C-alpha cells in the first residue's frame, strides 16, 4: 500500500513539473507534428499565390487521375440516346459473367434481386418499394440504358460510378442482360473467354517422327 502511495505521489510530481512553463520558454511538446504539421493546410495562407490561399482550383481542362469522361448527358434525352445507341465496348472474349455476377450481387441484388425480378432483400422487407423487374415491358432496358443508369443513377437509385470502374460497369451490364433474357424465357448469351478463343495445336506423333528423319 505504501509503495502504491509513493508511486502516485511520484507521478503527481512529474506531471506538475511537465505542466509548468515559462512564457519566455516554450513547453515540451509530445508528437510535435500534431501541432505543427509539415504539409500545407488546405485553407491556410500562402505567399506563393496571388490570392494568398493555399487551396487552388485545378487548371482549366485538367482531368482527375483515373477519370474517363462520359459524353452522354445526365438528362432524359441523354438516357434515351444511350438506350438507343450505346453498346458495350467489350468483345466476346473480354466479357466475364462470373465477375459481373459477383459485382451484381454486391451492389445490385439487394434491391433488384438475385434473379433481376425486383425482389431484393430491401424490397421483401418493405424498406424499398416499386423496384421493377428487368423484363418489365415499359422499360425495355438495353445495354446503353443499363450503363447510363449505373453511371448516373435513376429515380431512387443513386450513381455507382464511384464504386465501379468503366470495365466493371460493362461486366455488370452483360450479366444484367442475361438476367433479363432468363426472365423472358430466352437462353443466356454465351461468351467465349480469351483463353478459350486461342486454340493451340500440338504436332502429332507421326509429324514429330517425320521431322526427326
Residue with cell 467489350: 90
| 3 state SS for the chain | CHHHHHHHHHHHHHHHHHHCCECCECCCCCCHHHCCCCCCCCCCECCCCCCCECCCCCCCCCCCCCCCCCCCCCCHHHHHHHHHHCCCCCCCCCCCHHHHHHHHHHHCHHHHCCCCCCCCHHHHCCCCCCCCCCCCCCCCCCHHHHHHHHHHCECCECCCCCCCCHHHHHHHHHHHHHHHHHHCCCCCCCCCCHHHHCCCCCCCHHHHHHHHC
Q: State residue 8's pLDDT score.
A: 85
For the record, the C-alpha cell of 38 comes out as: 509539415
Homologous superfamily, domain 76-187: Cytochrome c-like domain (1.10.760.10)
Q: State residue 201's pLDDT score.
A: 43
- Model pTM above 0.85: no
Crossing angle between the packed helical segments 76-85 and 143-152, to the nearest 10 degrees: 140
Q: State residue 12's pLDDT score.
A: 82
Q: State residue 146's pLDDT score.
A: 98
CA–CA separation, 106 and 112 (whole Å): 11
Please name every residue paired with 154 in a beta bridge, in sequence order, or none if there are none: 157
Query: Phi-psi region for residue 153, left (φ > 0), alpha (ψ -120 to 50) or beta?
Result: left
- pLDDT of the chain along its 213 residues, tens only? 667 778 888 888 777 766 666 666 666 777 777 777 677 777 788 888 888 888 888 888 888 887 788 999 999 999 999 999 999 999 999 999 999 999 999 999 999 999 999 999 999 999 998 899 999 988 899 999 999 999 999 999 999 999 999 999 999 999 999 999 999 999 999 987 655 544 444 444 444 445 444
Amino acid at each position: 500500500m505504501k509503495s502504491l502511495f509513493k508511486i502516485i505521489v511520484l507521478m503527481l510530481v512529474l506531471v506538475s513539473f511537465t505542466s509548468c512553463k515559462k512564457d519566455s520558454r516554450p513547453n515540451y511538446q509530445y508528437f510535435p507534428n500534431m501541432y505543427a504539421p509539415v504539409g500545407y493546410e488546405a485553407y491556410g495562407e500562402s505567399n506563393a499565390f496571388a490570392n494568398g490561399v493555399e487551396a487552388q482550383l485545378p487548371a482549366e481542362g485538367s482531368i482527375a487521375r483515373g477519370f474517363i469522361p462520359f459524353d452522354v448527358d445526365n438528362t432524359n434525352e441523354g438516357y434515351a440516346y444511350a438506350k438507343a445507341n450505346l453498346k458495350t465496348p467489350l468483345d466476346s472474349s473480354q466479357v466475364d459473367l462470373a465477375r459481373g455476377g459477383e459485382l451484381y450481387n454486391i451492389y445490385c441484388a439487394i434491391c433488384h434481386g438475385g434473379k433481376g425480378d425486383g425482389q431484393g432483400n430491401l424490397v421483401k422487407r418493405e424498406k424499398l418499394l416499386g423496384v421493377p423487374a428487368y423484363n418489365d415491358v415499359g422499360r425495355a432496358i438495353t445495354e446503353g440504358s443499363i450503363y447510363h443508369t449505373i453511371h448516373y443513377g435513376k429515380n431512387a437509385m443513386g450513381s455507382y460510378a464511384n464504386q465501379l470502374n468503366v470495365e466493371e460497369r460493362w461486366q455488370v451490364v452483360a450479366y444484367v442482360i442475361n438476367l433479363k433474357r432468363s426472365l423472358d424465357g430466352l437462353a443466356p448469351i454465351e461468351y467465349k473467354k480469351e483463353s478459350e478463343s486461342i486454340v493451340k495445336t500440338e504436332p502429332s506423333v507421326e509429324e514429330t517422327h517425320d521431322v526427326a528423319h
